Every structure is written in structure tokens, then in C-alpha cells.
């Protein structure tokens, strides 16, 4: 486990799952909560940029292959960091399902980041627990937040606990009632992200 002290991030880049866009309700809920903390809160606002992947921008349905998605994330992170006058190492990356997975692969591929926010991480395809998507976990030497449903067919809480031990960065896991979409839990997801940020 990493013992490195991490400064408070300057911003969060959020990405959607394979079947959705940047305006997905969960992403909007997280962005709204971070941009405007509750009255009386000591939390500072955090800029959030929600982005689509190239396939979505082009009107296609088939998600981009990892090299295309990672190149896009690198460009978006660098643009956002420039806008905030910081390096990408002060930008959090994350998203739902496919989007979060691509962000984690981008960090494993060398994109410097302040940490990862992985919502409903797709540990494996439903019904195929042997097809794990964890080969890159050993290269994630940043703080990582996982927020998942307790009945997620893409990875149970026990499976996540077993496999996230390979991550050298500090791992936080939050389990909420629900399946992969964690339906009707947008406020709880947003609060989990906001609470995690207080640790920086």
C-alpha cells in the first residue's frame, strides 16, 4: 500500500459507461455535488469536466477499443489540466463502468493522475467471473475509490475485495444497495465521492 501524501485534487474528469453519454444522471449528480457543496459544509467546490468518448461523439454504438479511449482520455486530461493551470497529476480521473475502466487503464498506461473514481467498475462480464479485467491493477499507484452495488453482476463486493488487493495505491471501497446501475442511489454515490475527497 502506498504511503505517499496526496495534495487535494484540482479537478475531476468524469466519463460515462458504454451505453450512456456525458449527461448520464449519476455523472451529473456527482458533478453537481462537488461543484456546490451543501450549505454549512467545509468542503471546497471542485471543478468537474464530463466528457464523451470518440465513438459517442461520432454517433456510433460500439465502444472504442482501449488504445483509442486511452488516447482520448490523455488529451482530455491534458486539456482540463491546462485549463486549471496544473499538471494531470492533480486531476482525478473516473467514471461509470466502461468509462472508469478506461480511466484506470489510462493511468496504468502512464497517464499521471491524482487518483481514480471508479463507479460500478466492471470487474468481469456478467456470468463470466473467469474473464477478469484486473491485469493492470498492479500499476495503479494512486488512491482509488470504488463505489458499487451489492448485487452487481459485473463484480460482487467479495470479488472486488479479493482483486483490489493487487492495487498498490490506497483503495477505498463503498458498497451501496443495488445492481450495476445502483438505481435511485445518485445522491449516495455523489456523497461517497465527496466523502472520499475529504481524505486528500
Answer whether residue 2 is part of any domain. Answer: no
The backbone torsions φ and ψ at residue 179, rounded to the nearest 5 degrees and listed phi first, read -100, -145
Asked whether the beta carbons of 13 and 75 are under 8 A apart, the reply is no
- CA–CA separation, 64 and 72 (whole Å): 10
Number of domains in the chain: 1
Asked whether the beta carbons of 78 and 9 are under 8 A apart, the reply is no
Q: What is the pTM of this model?
A: 0.95
- Residue 126, C-alpha cell as written in the block: 456478467
User: pLDDT at residue 6 above 80?
Assistant: no
Answer whether residue 1 is part of any domain. Answer: no
Q: pLDDT per residue over 8-64, tens digit each?
A: 899 999 999 999 999 999 999 999 999 987 777 777 899 999 999 999 999 999 999
Q: pLDDT per residue over 117-176, tens digit each?
A: 999 999 999 999 999 999 999 999 999 999 999 999 999 999 999 999 999 999 999 999
**Of 130, 137, 66, which is closest to residue 102 (Cα–Cα)?**
66
Asked whether the beta carbons of 135 and 109 are under 8 A apart, the reply is no
Domain that holds residue 89: 11-197
- CATH number of the domain enclosing 186: 3.40.50.1820
Amino acid at each position: 500500500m502506498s504511503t505517499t501524501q496526496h495534495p487535494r485534487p484540482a479537478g475531476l474528469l468524469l466519463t460515462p459507461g458504454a451505453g450512456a453519454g456525458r449527461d448520464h444522471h449519476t455523472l451529473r449528480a456527482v458533478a453537481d455535488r462537488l461543484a456546490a457543496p451543501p450549505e454549512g459544509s467545509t468542503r471546497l467546490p471542485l471543478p468537474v469536466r464530463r466528457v464523451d468518448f470518440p465513438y459517442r461523439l461520432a454517433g456510433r454504438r460500439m465502444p472504442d477499443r482501449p488504445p483509442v479511449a486511452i488516447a482520448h482520455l490523455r488529451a482530455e486530461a491534458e486539456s482540463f489540466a491546462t485549463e486549471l493551470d496544473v499538471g494531470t497529476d492533480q486531476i482525478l480521473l473516473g467514471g461509470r463502468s466502461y468509462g472508469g475502466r478506461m480511466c484506470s487503464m489510462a493511468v496504468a498506461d502512464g497517464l499521471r493522475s491524482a487518483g481514480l473514481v471508479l463507479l460500478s467498475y466492471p470487474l468481469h462480464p456478467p456470468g463470466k467471473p473467469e474473464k477478469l479485467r484486473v491485469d493492470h491493477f498492479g500499476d495503479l499507484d494512486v488512491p482509488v475509490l470504488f463505489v458499487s452495488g451489492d448485487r452487481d453482476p459485473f463484480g460482487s463486493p467479495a470479488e472486488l475485495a479479493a482483486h483490489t488487493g493487487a492495487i498498490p495505491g490506497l483503495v477505498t471501497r463503498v458498497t451501496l444497495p443495488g445492481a450495476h446501475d445502483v438505481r435511485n442511489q445518485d445522491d449516495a454515490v455523489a456523497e461517497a465521492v465527496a466523502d472520499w475527497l475529504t481524505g486528500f
